[in-house]
Amino acid sequence: MAAKKEILVRFGIKVREIRKMRGLSQEELSFKANLHRTYIGMIERAEKNITLVNISKIADALEIPISDFFDK
């Protein structure tokens, strides 16, 4: 897997993992982050190259520091 795609996959898995730990649906997370529901699904499936602005919105919505997405 190309390095660019790998980071998107790892990020998407982490978003899904934390979202589920918080007991949120994709729709609930999208509402809290002010993003479209389908966009959250695309992030979790590594179909979108997310911007730093949207990473920040999702981190805020999940009430975590951005660095938690990238901890191994």
What is the structure's pLDDT at 70?
84
- The whole-number average pLDDT for the span 14-18 is 96
Residue 12 clears pLDDT 90, i.e. is over it: yes
The tally of domains found in the chain comes to 1
Residue 70 forms part of a structural domain: no
Q: Say how many Å lie between the first and final Cα of the chain, rounded.
A: 18
Per the prediction, the chain carries an average pLDDT of 94
The CATH number covering residue 35 comes to: 1.10.260.40
Contact 5, 46 (CB under 8 A): yes
| pLDDT at position 56 | 98
Domain of 10, in residue numbers: 3-63
Quickly tell me which residue has 């996959």 as its tokens. 9
pLDDT-derived band at 32, boundaries 50, 70, 90 = very high
Cβ contacts of residue 7 below 8 Å, gap of 6+?
Answer: none
Residue 8 lies in a domain: yes
What are the tens digits of pLDDT across the range 46-65? 999 999 999 999 999 999 99
Query: What's the alpha-carbon Rg for the chain, to the nearest Å?
Result: 11
